[in-house]
Copies of this chain bind each other. A is one copy, B any other.
Amino acid sequence: MENQQIKQAGLKVTVPRVKILGILEHSGKRHLSAEDVYKELLRQDEEIGLATVYRVLTQFEGAGLVCRRHFEGGQSVFELNSGSHHDHLVCIKCGKIVEFVDSLIEDRQTAIAAEHGFRIEDHSLVVYGLCAGCQNAR
């Protein structure tokens, strides 16, 4: 269960951490903002402050349990670290998110970085557009 992952991450097992990890795992949505997590905690009648939510998410990120994403506009969103990298397609109207991986793109990035003498540490690719549903909706 959650306790083990938290312990393995080198963190003490506390109520906020267990609850937050639980929400990330079982809330249905894969990409949640700190605010989303906080609202879900309120719904569950947990007395956990927003500052703690940010703190815990940041610790989880440091421990490699979650990934933080900075999409355009407002808040960052967090998602469980699936272990494998992926990029995102985001609908600018309804917020729908589709994940994808494309080895051709990954390879080109590596090649381009090499051409310029860079050693890649990370990258962020986000494609914004209208999903099928939102293209029709008039």
Contacts and interface: CB of A to CB of B under 8 A. Distances in A.
Contact of A72 (B70, B109, B116, B130): B70
A122 B126 CA distance: 9
A127 B102 contact: no
A91 to B, nearest CB: 7
Contact of A105 (B89, B100, B105): B105
Contact of A116 (B89, B104, B119, B124): B89
Contact of A104 (B98, B108, B129): B108
A6 interface: no
A1 interface: no
B121 A100 contact: no
Nearest to A133: B117
A137 to B, nearest CB: 13
A100, A105, A130, most chain B CB atoms within 10 A: A105
A127 B124 CA distance: 6
